[in-house]
């Protein structure tokens, strides 16, 4: 007979979506003081927080999402600030709306830091196991079934690691210790379940003709859950992505290649980072340089002559398409046939090994071809491959079956987040995880669910895109996707989201007090700029955060922590006219997004509605008129007919 354990929220998967979901749910439940608990179920607890591909956080648009995750109390910003080995602000030559912070991570330290943060929560239990069966009754999720051998995994003793130079040691063991292991099957019961399978659902890895089950090297595949979801009526799709080979640094002519350096004065991601405090130690780890090499015409010829051996082209992979915006080198050579060279960035993965990530040559080609490609790149003539590149194909759930809250439309209490929704990238997964965890906790507490608007956050843009468009390739966030990007800057994420997050219960006291302090200083700076001529500097001294700093000039002030606040105030003033126009558009969009489409409305019965609109509305089941207007096949005339039908229907029901 099995064991039954009760939780408020169950999160399946320990990747970037899963950890953010568990943390957000635990924050909400902890803030309510109910004594509730969250279960985080993962195949291998020692792999929680693993960076499967590129060991970096942020970038263009992705940096904004990472900042938004932090503004909502998430883990990603804190973890990268503690483990970053090269920080760089991208697009500094352009306007602030399209700048993006990015940081190279020590991937081993990052994984351990995420595990350490999870272990600090008294409300999260980590369980080792796989989930193949969901318990669903009368259209509501009730829990999950774990196989025999599953059990709670406790953090190692002394898991706090104060020496940043020490070799990172996983906080969680690979499997439960004998005294914690459940020998019988385990049933976990909860009113909310969050599924974050990453690339592991029925996953298959390809290197040339060789195929290996699994969603990541040395890890398995979650096969049973796909059948379970199909049995529950979900429409699945299949996507593919890839990763490049890793090289041994000592075998590369490192000093002979062009260097890529980080910023002299790096900007932290998290509002809780020491980088935002006077005298705080940031960055914490020793910083590194990357190197740049390139492909050549002869490499491109080699790839073309072996396309029949590349699963991306040979038909060996049973998936619709790969990532258009992070393509394999095979894709690049075919799609950009006129180019005879592509940049390849050689990025150190950790201080604790010689692994170098080859950013720019993701590939599914056979090992012998990969070896020839690598050694034909300048500076890599004698390079040794530590790990071969590979492609992975995996199942996803077509995201028109979820709402922008991340809850599925057909099963109450069942939430999806991350690559299972067809997205690509740590940041996109983490952003969905925050929303899914927040709403899973609110559902368990019988509170209204929360949606972020397109005017509030890139996370809101992403979720709206997912539920109104069906991705045929892994979805990646870009600044061009956000119509209000001047309003959605990386530097004002706390202004947009921290007050709301405090109201919801996501924000701790330290973060809230920090925001109140920054908000007050920004207001004082703005008032001073508006009312004072810059002939003297006494006003500067009165608004500097660090009392030990006494600047005699504006140049002196640039070295203080408040310089970023001054930049934010100046940006808001400089673009005030544009921002006001965007705010007018935002108000119109909010009005449409506030107009709910009632569940009783039969779109097929709306007179005059075009067949294309009826089909699109029936498939996506939008929650609001705003979402309906963003669906392909729905015109403004169709929206007018819907609006009239809703009004008449309500009058009739009244």
- Count CB atoms within 10 A of the CB of residue 633: 15
Max Cα separation, the chain?
81
β-pairing, 385-387 vs 355-359, is unpaired
State residue 246's pLDDT score: 96
Contact assessment for residue 133 and residue 195, using Cβ atoms and an 8 Å cutoff: no
**Please, are residues 386 and 301 in contact by the beta-carbon 8 Å criterion?**
no
Residue with tokens 């996707």: 481
User: Can you tell me the distance from the alpha carbon of 593 to that of 573, in angstroms, rounded to the nearest whole number?
Assistant: 29
At 616-625, the pLDDT tens digits run 888 888 888 8
What are the tokens at 483? 């119509």
CA distance 533 to 310: 65
Helices within 532-575 (DSSP H only): 538-542, 554-557, 563-574
Q: Which residues of the chain have pLDDT under 70?
A: 1, 158-162, 175-183, 275-280, 314, 318-326, 529-564, 570, 573-575, 578, 653-654
The 10 Å CB-count burial string (b at 16+, else e) for 236-247 is: bbbbbbbbbbbb
560, 564, 567, 568: CA torsion to nearest 10: -140
Sign of torsion, CA 3 5 11 14? negative
For residues 191 and 141, give the distance between their C-alpha atoms in angstroms, rounded to a whole number: 6
Question: For residue 558, what pLDDT is reported?
Answer: 42
**What is the structure's pLDDT at 590?**
76
Angle at alpha carbon of residue 135, lines to 129 and 140, rounded to 5°: 130
pTM of the model: 0.86
Q: How many CB atoms lie within 10 A of CB 391?
A: 26
pLDDT at 312: 72
Chain centre to alpha carbon of residue 311: 27
> Which of 223, 204, 224 shows the shortest CA–CA distance to 213?
204
């Amino acid at each position: 007979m099995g064991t039954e354990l009760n939780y408020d929220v169950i999160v399946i998967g320990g990747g970037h979506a899963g950890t953010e979901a568990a943390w957000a749910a635990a924050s909400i439940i902890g803030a309510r003081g109910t004594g509730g608990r969250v279960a985080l179920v993962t195949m291998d607890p020692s792999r929680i927080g693993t960076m499967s591909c590129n060991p970096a956080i942020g970038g263009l648009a992705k940096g904004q999402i990472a900042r938004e995750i932090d503004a909502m109390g998430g883990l990603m910003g804190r973890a990268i600030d503690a483990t970053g080995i090269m920080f760089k602000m991208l697009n500094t030559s352009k306007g602030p709306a399209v700048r993006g912070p990015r940081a190279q991570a020590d991937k081993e330290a990052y994984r351990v830091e995420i595990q350490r943060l999870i272990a600090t929560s008294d409300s999260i239990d980590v369980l080792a196991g796989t989930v193949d069966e969901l318990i669903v009754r009368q259209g509501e999720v009730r829990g999950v079934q774990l196989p025999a051998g599953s059990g709670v995994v406790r953090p190692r003793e002394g898991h706090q690691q104060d020496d940043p130079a020490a070799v990172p040691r996983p906080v969680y063991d690979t499997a439960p210790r004998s005294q914690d292991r459940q020998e019988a099957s385990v049933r976990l019961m909860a009113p909310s379940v969050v599924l974050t399978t990453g690339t592991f659902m029925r996953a298959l890895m390809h290197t040339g003709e060789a195929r290996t089950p699994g969603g990541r090297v040395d890890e398995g595949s979650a096969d049973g859950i796909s059948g379970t979801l199909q049995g529950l009526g979900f429409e699945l799709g299949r996507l593919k992505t890839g990763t490049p080979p890793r090289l041994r640094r000592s075998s590369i002519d490192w000093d002979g290649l062009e260097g890529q350096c980080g910023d002299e004065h790096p900007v932290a991601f998290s509002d809780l980072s020491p980088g935002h405090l006077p005298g705080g130690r940031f960055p914490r780890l020793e910083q590194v340089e990357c190197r740049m090499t390139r492909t050549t015409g002869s490499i491109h010829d080699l790839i073309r002559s072996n396309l029949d051996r590349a699963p991306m082209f040979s038909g060996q992979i049973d998936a619709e398409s790969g990532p258009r915006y992070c393509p394999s080198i095979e894709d690049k050579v075919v799609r950009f046939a006129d180019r005879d060279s592509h940049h390849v960035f050689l990025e150190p993965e950790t201080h604790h090994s010689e692994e170098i990530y080859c950013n720019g040559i993701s590939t599914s080609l056979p090992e012998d071809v990969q070896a020839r490609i690598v050694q034909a790149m300048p500076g890599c003539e004698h390079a040794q491959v530590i790990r071969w590149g590979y492609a992975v194909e995996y199942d996803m759930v077509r995201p028109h079956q979820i709402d922008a809250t991340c809850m599925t439309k057909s099963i109450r209490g069942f939430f999806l987040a991350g690559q299972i929704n067809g997205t690509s990238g740590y940041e996109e997964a983490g952003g969905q995880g925050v929303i899914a965890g927040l709403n899973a906790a609110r559902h368990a507490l019988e509170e209204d669910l929360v949606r972020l608007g397109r005017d509030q956050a890139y996370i809101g843009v992403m979720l709206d895109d997912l539920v109104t468009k069906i991705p045929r390739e892994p979805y990646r966030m870009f600044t061009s996707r956000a119509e209000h990007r001047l309003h959605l800057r990386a530097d004002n994420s706390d202004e947009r989201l921290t007050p709301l997050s405090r109201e919801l219960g996501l924000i701790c006291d330290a973060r809230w007090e920090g925001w109140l302090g920054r908000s007050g200083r920004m207001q004082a700076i703005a008032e001073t700029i508006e009312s004072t001529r810059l002939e003297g500097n006494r006003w500067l001294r009165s608004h500097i955060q660090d009392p030990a700093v006494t600047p005699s000039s504006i140049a002196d002030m640039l070295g203080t922590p408040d310089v970023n606040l001054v930049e934010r105030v100046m940006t808001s003033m400089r673009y005030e006219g544009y921002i006001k126009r965007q705010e007018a558009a935002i108000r119109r969009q909010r009005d449409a997004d506030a107009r709910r489409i009632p569940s009783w409305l039969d779109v097929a019965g709306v007179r005059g509605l075009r067949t294309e609109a009826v089909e699109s509305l029936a498939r996506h089941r939008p929650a609001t008129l705003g979402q309906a207007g963003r669906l392909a096949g729905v015109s403004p005339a169709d929206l007018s007919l819907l609006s009239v039908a809703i009004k008449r229907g309500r009058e009739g029901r009244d």
